[in-house]
Amino acid sequence: MGNLDISRNDAAVVDAVLVIHGGAGTILEENLTAAREAACYAGLEKALKVGYALWQAGADALSIVEATVRVLEDDPIFNAGRGAVLNDQGIAELDASIMRGVDRMAGAITGVTTIKNPITLARAVLEKTSFVFLSGLGAEELAATLEEVEIVGQDYFFTDERWKQLQAQRASNSVSLSEDNKFGTVGAVARCKENHLAAATSTGGMTNKRHGRIGDSPMIGAGTWADDATCAVSATGHGEFFIRAAVAHEISARMRHAKESVSVAADGVIHEELMTMGGSGGVIALAANGDAALPFNTAGMYRGVIAADGTLATAIYGKR
Ligand code: ASP
């Protein structure tokens, strides 16, 4: 088993079965309390272990990424599910998407306000409807018919910290992606024992976003992509740029057409193409052979990886 050094901004590892992120941004060591840092590491590790146990039990890749993302959604520290940030109306509006590499089936939802685990609803769109992308009320009406989707009130998402962040953003009249207090989007990419891939991404979006705004996270090809022939990708960053660069699909396209490795393709999109456009963020990308890349062009990205032999690594900050 090779080493799992993911401390760099352009880290690449081998033999990974599951890679996760908890958002990218201006995450600086001096701004994170020791308690907060420990809680982030613990949250990442818990998610990796839940996903790995499923992998060991022979679960399919879709189930692995869904279960892993659910753990991160339930953790108030990350900007998804319970810890989702608030929009300009003080409401948590959630987005999620999921994709399976073996047949490129996908499911996504946007603008839901009552779904405890948006990733599970996205999976239901994939598995139980003939559609790919549902929004708002239509998505919530579907949720009401599904046993596996738990409905909650807005108070479930409301945390003092998110409210304070919204007030700060309102005061400065800005929309936050990468403020120090931003704890981002979550995502997972995994392969099963048969080496099929899947990717999942879930988010509350950006603090003080205009209500109705949709970022890259629920957009197949921008924030999420999976194709067994290339890789599985989940993105985090300034969504408007990720949409215009079709980040997740672009990484796959570079592998497919230019025959680049997963790390060359992911690094090229994050460190070159996005940088040129002025977009900040990162991705996790995993190829079917276990090669993985975790590049980001921000100060930090909450991230983690677990290898086939169970060794795991988590990291927050970066170095070049
Ligand atoms: N990509 C997300 C969005 O633009 C935000 C994030 O990843 O932190 O909605």
CA 295 / ligand 1 centre spacing (Å): 16
Q: Which of 231, 312, 317, 315 is nearest to 1 (CA)?
A: 312
Residues designated catalytic: 185
CA 58 / ligand 1 centre spacing (Å): 31
Residue 194: Cβ-neighbour burial (10 angstroms; 0-12, 13-18, 19+): exposed
Number of the ligand 1 atom closest to the C-alpha atom of 95: 9
Residues pairing with 232 in the sheet = 226, 286
Tell me whether strands 186-191 and 197-203 are parallel, antiparallel or unpaired: antiparallel
Cβ < 6 A, ligand 1 pocket: 23, 177, 184-185, 203, 205-206, 215-217, 236-237, 239
Is 0.85 surpassed by the pTM of this model? yes
Rounded Cα distance between 294 and 318, Å, is 11
Pocket perturbation via mutation, ligand 1, pick of 79, 85, 206, 284 by most ligand atoms within 8 A of CB: 206
For residue 305 the two structure tokens come to: 């990886």
CA 207 / ligand 1 centre spacing (Å): 10
CA-to-CA dists, residue 9 to 160, 174, 279, 300, angstroms? 32, 27, 15, 8
Q: Give the 3-state secondary structure of residue 318.
A: coil
Number of the ligand 1 atom closest to the C-alpha atom of 25: 8
Q: Going residue by residue through the chain (320 aa), what tens digit of pLDDT does each one get? A: 457 999 999 999 999 999 999 999 888 888 889 999 999 999 999 999 999 999 999 999 999 999 999 999 999 999 999 988 888 888 899 999 999 999 999 999 999 999 999 999 999 999 999 999 999 999 999 999 999 999 999 889 887 877 888 888 888 766 655 444 454 799 999 999 999 999 999 999 888 888 999 999 999 999 999 999 999 999 999 999 999 999 999 999 999 999 999 999 999 999 999 999 999 999 999 999 999 999 999 999 999 999 999 999 999 999 88
Q: Give the 3-state secondary structure of residue 3.
A: coil
Number of the ligand 1 atom closest to the C-alpha atom of 204: 9
Phi, psi of 126 (to 5 degrees): -65, -50
Number of the ligand 1 atom closest to the C-alpha atom of 177: 8
Pocket perturbation via mutation, ligand 1, pick of 209, 236, 240 by most ligand atoms within 8 A of CB: 236
CA 101 / ligand 1 centre spacing (Å): 23
Q: Which of 308, 305, 311, 312 is nearest to 56 (CA)?
A: 308
Residue of minimum CA distance from atom 4 in ligand 1:
239
Rounded Cα distance between 132 and 96, Å, is 12
Domains and CATH numbers, the chain: 10-317 (3.60.20.30)
Phi, psi of 98 (to 5 degrees): -145, 145
Tell me whether strands 106-112 and 94-100 are parallel, antiparallel or unpaired: antiparallel
Residue of minimum CA distance from atom 9 in ligand 1:
205
Residues 6+ apart with CB under 8 A from 305: 4, 6, 13, 16, 18, 19, 20, 48, 292, 294, 312, 313
Residues pairing with 94 in the sheet = 112
- Amino acid residing at 16: A
Residue 303: Cβ-neighbour burial (10 angstroms; 0-12, 13-18, 19+): buried
Rounded Cα distance between 105 and 131, Å, is 10
Instruction: Find how far residue 307's CA is from the centre of its chain.
Output: 19
CA 265 / ligand 1 centre spacing (Å): 21
Phi, psi of 249 (to 5 degrees): -70, -35
Residue 232: Cβ-neighbour burial (10 angstroms; 0-12, 13-18, 19+): buried
Q: Which of 150, 231, 235, 110 is nearest to 184 (CA)?
A: 235
For residue 165 the two structure tokens come to: 């962040």
